[in-house]
Amino acid sequence: MLPSVTKASGPGLTEVQKVEWAANEIHLADDKHLVSELPRCPNCSSLIALYLQGNYELIAIPPLFFQRMQLLQTLDLSRTSIKSLPKSLPKLVALKTLLLQGCDLFMELSPQVGKLKNLEELDLDETQIMDLPRETGKLLKLRQLKVSFYHLCGKKKLKSNILIHPQTISNLSQLTELSIDVNPADKRWDDSVEAVLKEVCNSKTLRTLSLYLPTFQLLDDASLIYPSLSRFRFTVGHHKRRIISRVPDEVEAEFRKWDKCLRFVNGETIPTQIKGVLKYSTSFFLDHHTTAMNLSEFGIENMKGLKFCVLAECNKMETLIDGEMHYERNEDDQSESRPGSVQHMLESLEFLSTYYMEDLQCICRGADRFGCMSKLKFLALHACPHLSKIFSLTLLENFINLEEIIVEDCP
Q: Mean pLDDT for the chain?
A: 87
The residues, any chain, with a CB within 8 Å of residue 35's CB and separated by 6 or more, are: 8, 11, 12, 13, 16, 28, 52, 55, 57, 58
Q: How far apart are CA 27 and CA 382, in angstroms?
A: 44
Split at pLDDT 50, 70, 90, the class of 179 is very high
Q: Tell whether the model's pLDDT for residue 392 goes beyond 90.
A: no
Say what percent of the chain tops pLDDT 70.
Answer: 84
The region that residue 105 occupies, defined by phi over 0 for left and psi between -120 and 50 for alpha, beta otherwise, is: alpha
Average pLDDT over residues 262-275: 96
Average pLDDT over residues 49-58: 94
pLDDT digits over 8-35, tens only? 544 444 456 556 677 899 988 776 678 8
Split at pLDDT 50, 70, 90, the class of 160 is low
pLDDT digits over 116-140, tens only? 999 999 999 999 999 999 999 999 9
Q: Tell whether the model's pLDDT for residue 372 goes beyond 70.
A: yes
pLDDT digits over 288-300, tens only? 999 999 999 999 8
380 φ, ψ (degrees, to nearest 5): -135, 130
CA angle at residue 174 from 169 to 175, to 5 degrees?
A: 55
**Which pTM does this prediction carry?**
0.89
> Quick one: how many helices (H) and strands (E) in the chain?
8, 18
Q: Tell whether the model's pLDDT for residue 336 goes beyond 50.
A: no
Q: How far apart are CA 164 and CA 56, in angstroms?
A: 28
Which residue has better confidence, 312 or 329?
Answer: 312
Element (H, E) at 209: strand 208-213
Report pLDDT for 9.
Answer: 43
Q: How far apart are CA 377 and CA 300, in angstroms?
A: 19
Of 281-285, 376-380, 393-397, minimum mean pLDDT range: 393-397
**Domains, the chain, ranges and CATH?**
239-411 (3.80.10)
Amino acid at 304: K
